[in-house]
């Protein structure tokens, strides 16, 4: 299982609402993530809106592409669009900056 860290940036003034939305992620979206291979998935935030995501998956690109054509993902990404900075016409899930793992302690 591969451990993946990634970063995104939420508009600082939208961070509280973004957090609230994530207290009730749609059940269909949660099921789709699981079916696409997303496990042990967490999102962390700093006060300035920087997000750090962590997920364990066999293949991150496959997990992303497994969500790509799903209607529920398209709806979720459209709903999330207003929260993010610098999307450059892309969906939030297309702008995840994958980080290189530098150290891990079991």
What's the Cα-to-Cα distance from 25 to each of 74, 76, 83, rounded to whole Å? Answer: 14, 9, 15
- pLDDT given for residue 86 in this prediction: 75
What pLDDT shows up at residue 88?
79
pLDDT score of 89: 81
Read off the pTM: 0.88
User: Is there a contact between 60 and 98 (Cβ–Cβ < 8 Å)?
Assistant: yes
Which sequence spans correspond to the domains of the chain?
A: 2-99
- Report the chain (106 residues): mean pLDDT per 10 consecutive residues: 94 97 97 97 96 95 93 95 85 85 92
Residues carrying an active site annotation: 22
**How far is 16 from 10, CA to CA, in rounded Å?**
10
Q: Is CATH 3.30.70.100 what the domain over 2-99 is classified as, yes or no? A: yes
| pLDDT in the model for residue 14 | 97
């Amino acid at each position: 299982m591969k451990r993946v860290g990634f970063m995104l940036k939420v508009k600082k003034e939208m961070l509280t609402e973004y957090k609230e939305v994530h207290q009730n992620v749609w059940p269909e979206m949660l099921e789709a993530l699981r079916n696409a291979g997303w496990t042990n998935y967490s999102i962390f935030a700093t006060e300035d809106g920087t997000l750090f995501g962590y997920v364990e998956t066999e293949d991150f690109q496959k997990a992303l592409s497994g969500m790509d054509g799903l209607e529920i993902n398209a709806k979720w990404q459209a709903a999330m669009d207003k929260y993010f900075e610098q999307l450059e016409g892309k969906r939030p899930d297309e702008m995840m900056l994958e980080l290189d793992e530098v150290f891990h302690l079991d």
